[in-house]
Amino acid sequence: MMDVKIIKRLFKDYTKKHLKKIIFALLLSIAVAGSTSSIAYLLDPAIKEIFMNKDEKLMIIIPLLIIVAFFIKGLSLYIAKVLMITVSEDVKRDVQVDMLNNLIDADTKLIDNKHSGKFISNLTNDVAHLTNMVSTGILNLFKDTFTLIGLMSVMFYQNWKLSLIAIIMIPLASFAARSLGKRITKVSFQQMEWAGVLSSYLIEIFKNHKLIKIFQKEIYEKNRAQIFLDNVKEKSRKMSIVFVRASPIMETMTGIIIAILIYFTGRLIMNDEIEISNFFSFLAAMMLAYQPVRSLATLNIVINNGLVSAKRILPIIDEKSELKQNNDDKDLTFENGNIEFKNIEFSYDKSKDENLPKATLKDINLKMFGGKMTALVGHSGSGKSTILNLIPRIYDAHKGDITIDNQSIYKTKIKSLRNQISFVGQDTNLFDDTIKNNIAYADVDASDEDIYDAAKLSFASEFIEKLKDKYETKIGENGIRLSGGEKQRISIARAILKKSKIILLDEATSSLDAETEDKIQKAISYLTKNRTTIVIAHRLSTILNSNKIYVIDSGNVAAEGSHEELMKNSSIYKNFYNKQIKM
């Protein structure tokens, strides 16, 4: 994305709406420039009239004018900075809202392909650089430009010959800053990359802290943390050094210019071409010009950092869903709940040798009857979970069609489709919130009575009532304070509360003790009663009563039928069953 296009995009989408505040801040920057210039100018009459001519009247007026000039400068700069801080924080919020909204709406594939820590870095570090460009960059560009123009006017007014000598500093400073800007852009990009890597690592540490202790990897992780932190430190150190590298260059150039000016001023005074008062006013203007010159010279660093961040942020905001939606899509009309897969093909990845996708599912044809239970059996990686994910359109098939009651899910509104579907998986997803709010996530408008009923039907109320804060108990990140069976029962309660017509179960009873599994099986029996249910289970004992069982092998339907039929006709299924009987 070209820098000019990025700037236009940022203006159109984020800063244009704040144009009045920005313009007012720019007008205030003119007041800052005028007051700063007047301070330098007032030194001329101050020296001439007060120190040399001893004018008692001006001895009072000129100091008062200087106080007024400093007051106007300080107040104008304060208001301008407050305005731009307000604008930058609004822009920051808008950018973060757009990023979060798009991430929430994004396809699962986007989230799966990038570590969450890097998204967090985009939302924090990158957005901070971007908003700094808006707040500091825009204000300094105009404030320092106007101030420099004002001070240069004072300098030329006092003596044009000395002004021409002083002007040499401006292109020299710009050249030095441009070369530094290229270096800092590269270092800044690397620093932001490592900040994202560090965020990712921190999330892994917090998520797997028990694993670290069980496998006694504390020293190993401390060493890894040292490496990550050293890399971030090194990049930050390099960036800071490049920033301050401008100081000795600017200081040296300033010293050279002042030395040359003193020499030429001495010549001019000897020739009666300039008075002492003119020189001091000129010198004050030149010294005051040092700050805006330096600021403008290093402004490209702030802008480059902001543009680098924008190049990382805007693609996330612009990411479009691969799920096809059309304006003429209709709401799903649910009747019997019959689901049918017709010649479905799907792939997660593209082939390196050709544009055609590597097939995870190949020509899949399934019929799942409404109000009945259909089971999927097969080795890990055979495609069972993919089939489940295609029904609520977590992904879209590349070929074929899926219908519910003879309505293509690809021609119905996704919202109306997902409204009819509940999911319970082996990896229970819960929020760091209360038990009540986790259950109510299925229906935030549900009454307390409905929530309590759902908890009772899922057998979750058994352990909830024993807790000190009962339904108001905070369960920690992903339910860390609950057991696996307790988390599973809350997940089932959430699904019961939704009252959807289609239930998807993915290994919902795996890794549970016999007593807990029995309770969850009873809860699932209630959840799935008279509902279209598709279940994946390694434990064949949980699906023996399914109306139909499909054996999935390497992305194909290897066999189908009832348990008895598959025991006779499917060697794969029979092998599964015999292995579990012997266990």
- Segment 509-527, tens digit of pLDDT: 655 666 777 788 888 888 8
Within 10 A of 387 (CB to CB), how many other CB atoms are there?
Answer: 28
pLDDT band at 401 (very low <50, low <70, confident <90, very high): very high
Going by C-beta distance under 8 Å and a sequence separation of 6 or more, which residues neighbour residue 188?
129, 239, 304, 305, 308
Compare 165 and 339 and report the one with higher pLDDT: 339
Helix axes 484-498, 448-457, angle to 10 degrees: 130
- For the segment 477-499, the average pLDDT, to the nearest whole number, is 85
pLDDT at 45 over 70: yes
**pTM for this model (two decimals):** 0.72
b/e sequence 419-442, b meaning 16+ C-beta within 10 Å: ebbbbbbbebebeeebbbbbbbbb
Over residues 185-209, mean pLDDT: 72
Percent of the chain whose predicted confidence (pLDDT) is above 90: 12
* Per-residue pLDDT tens digits for 198-237: 777 777 777 777 667 776 777 888 888 888 788 877 777 7
Mean pLDDT of 497-514: 77
Q: What is the pLDDT of residue 158?
A: 85
Average pLDDT over residues 525-547: 81
pLDDT surpasses 90 at 172: no
Q: How many CB atoms lie within 10 A of CB 485?
A: 20
Residue pair 184/242 in contact by the 8 Å Cβ criterion: yes
Give the whole-angstrom CA distance, residue 541 versus residue 534. 15
Supply φ then ψ for residue 533, to 5 degrees: -125, 130
For the record, the structure tokens of 472 come out as 């108001």
pLDDT score for 516: 74
Considering only residues 350 and 101, tell me which one the structure prediction assigns the higher pLDDT.
Answer: 101
- Rounded CA separation 581/575 (Å): 10
Cβ count near 134 (within 10 Å): 26
104 or 457, higher pLDDT: 457
**Which residue's structure tokens are 């019997």?**
336
- Distance CA(436)–CA(440), nearest Å, equals 6
Burial (CB count <10 Å: 0-12, 13-18, 19+), residue 411: middle
Q: Cα(97)–Cα(91) distance, rounded to whole angstroms?
A: 10
Residue 419, φ and ψ in degrees, nearest 5: -65, -20
Among 101, 39, 93, smallest CA distance to 64 is for 39
How do residues 315-328 score in pLDDT, each as one tens digit? Answer: 888 888 777 777 77
pLDDT digits (tens, 9 = 90+) for 132-150: 887 788 888 888 889 888 9
Q: What is the reported pLDDT for 159?
A: 81
Query: How far are the Cα atoms of 33, 151, 373, 524 from residue 1, in angstroms, in the given order?
Result: 35, 38, 51, 51
pLDDT for 41 beyond 70: yes
Count of other CB atoms within 10 angstroms of residue 557: 20
Residue 257 to residue 169: CA distance in whole angstroms: 7
Q: In what order do the strands lie in the sheet with 532-536?
A: 421-425, 502-506, 532-536, 373-377, 548-553, 556-561
Alpha-carbon span 414 to 331, nearest angstrom: 8
Q: Between residues 181 and 266, which one has the greater pLDDT?
A: 266
| SS3 call for 106 | coil
pLDDT at 358 over 70: no
Token digits for 184?
């800092």
Distances from the Cα of 264 to the Cαs of 159, 163, 257, in angstroms? 11, 11, 11
- Residue 354's pLDDT is 47
**Mean pLDDT lowest among 208-217, 304-313, 364-373, 491-500:** 208-217
Q: Which domains does the chain have, with CATH numbers?
A: 3-318 (1.20.1560.10), 323-420+501-583 (3.40.50.300), 430-499 (3.40.50.300)
Over residues 485-494, mean pLDDT = 88
For residues 356 and 399, the answer to whether their CB atoms sit within 8 Å is: no
Mean pLDDT for all residues in the chain: 82
Render 408-468 in DSSP notation, one character per residue.
EGGGB-HHHHHTTEEEEESS----SSBHHHHHGGG-TT--HHHHHHHHHHTT-HHHHTTSS
- Taking the CA atoms of 39, 41, 43 and 49 in sequence, report the sign of the dihedral they define: negative
